[in-house]
Chain A
Amino acid sequence: MKTDIEPISSAAGSPPQVRTRSIGRAGDKIFLGLSRGSGIALLVIMAAIAAFLTYRAAVAISKDEANFLTTFEWNTGSSPMRFGIAVLAYGTVVSSVIAMVIAVPIAVGIALFISHYAPRRLAAPVAYVIDLLAAVPSIVYGLWGALFLVPHLTGLYTWFDDYLGWTGILSYQGGAARSLFTVGILLAIMILPIVTSVSREVFRQVPKMHEEAALALGATRWEVIRMAVLPFGRSGIISASMLGLGRALGETMAVATVLSPNFLIETSLLDPGGGTFAQNIASHFKEAGDGGRDALIASGLVLFVITLLVNGAARMIIARRKEYSGTAA
């Protein structure tokens, strides 16, 4: 990919009759076959995931008595199954959006801190600590969220209810704070590392000349960032956020431990209820029969398609960036 080695090897191989050539050729062929085969295997796995999920989902949806997209119900035990993904889609999108709204500004702040603000001796350890956040398993986040975060949020939610309860979406009736908003906060903590590390990489690529030119014109550090760093990094921040969104959409165990689900859409984000695709699969799997499993697979297919689109878009933005920053730098 970096340099062209092909001509050298063919030039070395063809003209003189080297004794090891035939072995080398055979070895080369086998090796190329193996490595290309692995690459193809990856593609086959991706295709197989799509194919098998679609097949089982088709089986399930054909048995579904209700509308798959608009039903507020998940009843796979009864003989005509009635299930729909409306509540799950709502909960997944709402919790992920809350997570993004909280996490992206903070993550950009931390990325700026590491790339531009922190004393040099502090920057590397901070980056390392953020990476550690990413290494914590999601079930541990779930445990911490359910047993530590939830009890500690009641105060904040009561405060929200006092001052912002009139909006309707931030009213709170008391009880354990196992709501979509709590899930959003927890997801925000969980996607912080990936958004931070991708934006940090982008900020690091900002041409030094741009920054120095701004400084030489008398700009303050904030003005340098606003005029040189952020415009350069905008597409990077967007794709970083989308990668984070992909994570948040598919997060399972942390949501399953924190949320207290039901099949209603609550107007208030702070009241318990709702559900997400991944959480619903994990919580309903044990009691599901054959039909129920297929129904869960159908909802998993929807999740798969959504994350595929989000991640694909993010990667496309990054790839396009790479091309033009490669020629500009």
Chain B
Amino acid sequence: MSNAVIDKSEAPGRASGPAPLRQARLPRWTPYALLVVSAAAGAGIGTALGMDSAFQWGLIAAVVFVLAGYGLGAVVEGGRQARDRLATSLVWVCFLLAVVPLLSLIWETIDRGRTVLDGYFLSHSMEGVQTILPGGGAYHAIIGTLEQVALAAVIAVPIGLLTAIYLVEYGRGRLAKAVTFFVDVMTGIPSIVAGLFILSFWIIILDFSYSGFAGAMALAILMMPIVVRSTEEMLKLVPDELREASLALGVPKWRTILKVVLPTAIGGITTGVMLAVARIAGESAPIVLLVFGAAGINNNPFEGAQSSLPYYIYEQWQLGNDASFNRAWAAALVLIAFVMILNLVARGIARWKAPKTGR
């Protein structure tokens, strides 16, 4: 740290004598020491004021940590360094603030969900179960989720893949620009609007009844842009040398795409599709509008009301008694586990089959 950039505020005080080449610095272990001190302060003040929430203690400790770091820095190192310390500790606090709700959410779900989650819960429906009593399960909801998500994927994946291929391999001109823009905009469509669209088109105008398939169509609308986006990114990573080599051998373009480009990117595409599936598996708004919910098992997604895990959670929450809350938490645990496993597997595939860019 050269003398030239020392803050104006400390220049006058130290003008006498030879100017020091280095500013005074706090030792490297200062943040850790401060952390211990502020934790102790947080606990101390918390107990003294009789606050029983650990979160409040944490908040006090965080405030003490940020202020003490700034004050100490300001006294020893000068204003600029102090501001740097302040920014650093604020950034750390931001990070912790984000982690707190996630941990709390996962902890609550596991803690409350495991009380009723067992083989019985996974293999029985709510048919004939008195909702204020314990018992019953989410089998019908799991079946519904799996069928609706599978149907949605069957509709959305081909369209999404082909659109991405069009954008990357053929897309030039205004049509491609329009498609790119609207894919982006489509990612932002609220799920309830997709549900309302299918409602007005499929159920009100074409006069079909509520069914799992209607829900699957709304989910497909939500899934398409995600698939297009991720596939597009992956196809762009395929080196052009591969395409050129194949074309130079006289292979037609469509076979080049099918036999060279897609296999190269297949890992990333699979990841994208699985992440999209994980995303729509948790959607409940369209299901409320289109599938209508049922207590019994309905294996046919094309006819009659079904249930789904997100819908089941909502329904059990609405019943508003302890037994149903427990069932809601258990279903939430199943849903989170399903989504997280899909996420983990998808990312595993991405890492395992990462396209070799040759760079």
Contacts and interface: CB of A to CB of B under 8 A. Distances in A.
Bound pair (A, B): yes
Interface of A: 1-3, 5, 8-9, 12-13, 18, 20, 23-25, 27-28, 30-32, 34-43, 45-46, 48-49, 52-53, 55-56, 105-106, 109-110, 112-113, 117-118, 126, 129-133, 135-144, 146-148, 152, 155, 189, 192, 196, 217-223, 225, 243, 246-247, 249-253, 256-257, 278, 281-282, 285-286, 290, 293-294, 296-297, 300, 303-304, 307-308, 310-312, 314-315, 319
A135 B343 CA distance: 8
Contacts of B160: 38
Nearest to B159: A38
A253 to B, nearest CB: 5
A252 B289 CA distance: 12
B104 to A, nearest CB: 7
Q: For B5, B94, B224, B325, which residue has the most chain A Cβ atoms within 10 angstroms? A: B94
A131 B344 CA distance: 11
B186 interface: yes
A243 B188 contact: yes
Nearest to A221: B84
A316 to B, nearest CB: 8
A136 B200 contact: no
A139 B166 contact: no
B123 to A, nearest CB: 22
B196 interface: yes
Contacts of A308: 185, 188
Given A27-B254, A312-B185, 6 more contacts: A27-B252, A38-B166, A140-B109, A140-B335, A140-B336, A300-B193
B321 to A, nearest CB: 12
A144 B325 CA distance: 11
B159 to A, nearest CB: 5
Interface stretch (B12-20, B33-41, B169-177): B169-177
A311 B185 contact: yes
Interface stretch (B114-122, B132-140, B277-285): B277-285
A315 B285 CA distance: 25
B88 interface: yes
23 contacts: A5-B253, A13-B252, A24-B252, A35-B165, A36-B170, A39-B175, A42-B186, A106-B97, A129-B102, A135-B278, A136-B339, A138-B283, A139-B314, A140-B336, A143-B313, A152-B53, A217-B5, A221-B84, A222-B88, A243-B188, A250-B192, A253-B288, A308-B185
A31 B257 contact: yes
B175 A36 contact: yes
A315 B177 CA distance: 13
A148 B108 contact: yes
Contact of B88 (A5, A25, A37, A221): A221
B80 A220 contact: yes
A176 to B, nearest CB: 12
Interface residues of B, number: 106
B336 A136 contact: yes
A285 B289 contact: yes
Contacts, number: 301
A102 to B, nearest CB: 10
Interface string B135-170: 000000000000000000000001111110111111
Contacts of A319: 181
Nearest first, the 5 closest Cβ-Cβ pairs linking A and B are A250-B190, A137-B282, A109-B94, A24-B252, A311-B188
Given A38-B159, A218-B1, A281-B196, A139 B252 contact: no
A246 B185 CA distance: 10
Contacts of A34: 162
Contact of B253 (A28, A196, A221, A253): A28
A243 B185 CA distance: 10
B236 interface: yes
A20 B252 contact: yes
A12 B2 CA distance: 64
B315 to A, nearest CB: 10
Interface in B252-297: 252-255, 257, 278-279, 281-285, 288-289
A16 B155 CA distance: 41
A278 B219 CA distance: 17
Nearest to A224: B84
A34 B225 CA distance: 17
Contacts of B200: 52-53, 55-56, 297
Interface string B299-334: 000000000001001100100000001001100100
A129 B197 contact: no
B5 A1 contact: no
Contacts of B189: 49, 250, 304, 307
B245 to A, nearest CB: 10
